[in-house]
Structure 1
């Protein structure tokens, strides 16, 4: 019985390892979900969720979300691709480098200025070089004066969600000591501080829109 349990444990470990960093898969791109996530239909007609490795694209609600998704759609929608698995994330998606006719699609997104290098996980120097060139040439998201990284956007959203809800009578906005965009929780708050509290430091370019990374 003990031997049987050991065999089962070993097989389970092998299956988990394969799910995280197994062999490459090939298929057709059935959907582009955003600037760094796709759905691939493999040879067995299974739909596989794939997160492009080493990059992080704008989140829904950020200024360049639609442009980033549109760029990836132009590159991949309906195309045949090969996915080089490197990991699996906590959503159960494959994390991998996606190749189309010899083109590293994640690297191309960075070259176009449609995604950041995901510094927490990136290892290929070519990605960092591509991002620096896109930044210097002000391509895509780098055309903005202060592009806001998606990992900070997610962290801010998570922090806001974790805060206790205020009672309605306390929900009336009040001018406080905040002076910087990094202190703003939302675009609405930034607009309030600019228009009602007169915090001009939130409107660096004087166009009437505060904190472009939020609004």
Structure 2
């Protein structure tokens, strides 16, 4: 339709000029006598009408249309990305049950009655159970937070990441841990300030989300990012997963950091039984599982955990 109005617009000046020169030509076309005045008026109205018709029937500019469609597409992609970042990827997921929480970034699970250790991708919690290292700042609190979130015997989801290895050099599965279909445990630990974002060599699936979660925790001064809790001493970039040259976190005082005594089970010590560090104590002389964990994790008495599985005095502490 636009083309018809365009043709009329282009022909109108020629017909107007011809009519002024030879009015009889127009009279033959319309089969009635017309004056030059009528020809001029009709020509002007035809030109104006064709312009209006072109304006009404013309398509929107292609460039603007493309910009509009592009913006709609980008918004759709953004929305889908935001939703997927909050939901589990069911294509790479298996069910498991929590057997034991070793520390803030390592757990033991049961998969089809088979026991596996899992190193959680993308996070690193302060050390508590590695006999080669001392208990790091916020380590006990991080482990307790993990035990609070991951209940023994509870159902969880393990998500693999094609960009990462299946297992690390300690034969631990490398997985994301989901408490439910909407709650990513690793992200939760970082957001609450109980773990650090950790990248080993290659970017992983949720790297940007985890990094932003750490920034938010720092700004919000949550957990180990709270003022005066831990002093960060920068070191070289990690080169192994996990690494022995990671950042060391120490208390902001001149005296060695002593983690607070926090029971690791539902049994709390009575007010008149104050625990003190004594690595000469043997398991039969330790009053409870909580005290055994205190001697191991807070005091560094690795002799309490001879098989190095993170569970002290296994005759009084379950899970070893």
What is the TM-score when the length of structure 2 is the normalising length?
0.40
Residue deviations 1:109-155 (CA, integer Å, cap 9, x gap): 00010111003355321101110010111111112252357969832
Aligned residues: 145
Counterpart residue number, 2:117: 49
The 5 Å alignment of 1:82-93 reads 82-86=157-161, 87=165, 88-93=167-172
Higher strand share: 1
State the structure with more CA Rg: 2
**Contact map agreement 2:101 2:107 (CA 8 A) in 1:** yes
Counterpart residue number, 2:48: none
**Contact map agreement 2:106 2:119 (CA 8 A) in 1:** yes
2:214 paired with 1:131: yes
2-side partners of 1:105 and 1:116: how far apart?
A: 13
2-side partners of 1:75 and 1:155: how far apart?
A: 28
SS in 1 for 2:127: coil
CA distance change for structure 1 residues 148 and 109 in 2, over 3 Å: closer, same or farther? farther
Counterpart residue number, 1:38: 107
**Contact map agreement 1:53 1:95 (CA 8 A) in 2:** yes
2:208 paired with 1:118: no
Residue deviations 1:23-67 (CA, integer Å, cap 9, x gap): 533111010000000011112x11111011011111121011111
Shift of 1:106: 0.4
Counterpart residue number, 1:74: 148
**Contact map agreement 1:141 1:147 (CA 8 A) in 2:** no
What is the TM-score when the length of structure 1 is the normalising length?
0.59
SS in 1 for 2:193: coil
Counterpart residue number, 1:142: 225
Residue deviations 1:169-196 (CA, integer Å, cap 9, x gap): xxxxxxxxxxxxx9xxxx8xxxxxxxxx
CA distance change for structure 1 residues 139 and 48 in 2, over 3 Å: closer, same or farther? same
The 5 Å alignment of 1:1-215 reads 24-43=93-112, 45-60=113-128, 61-78=135-152, 79-86=154-161, 87=165, 88-102=167-181, 103-120=183-200, 121-123=202-204, 124-143=207-226, 144-147=229-232, 154-155=244-245, 208-209=254-255
Shift of 1:73: 0.7
Could you say which structure has the greater relative contact order, defined with CA pairs below 8 angstroms and 6 or more residues apart?
1
CA distance change for structure 1 residues 122 and 113 in 2, over 3 Å: closer, same or farther? farther
**Contact map agreement 2:224 2:230 (CA 8 A) in 1:** no
Q: Which runs of 5+ in 1 are unaligned?
A: 1-21, 158-181, 188-202
Q: Which runs of 5+ in 2 are unaligned?
A: 1-90, 129-134, 259-320
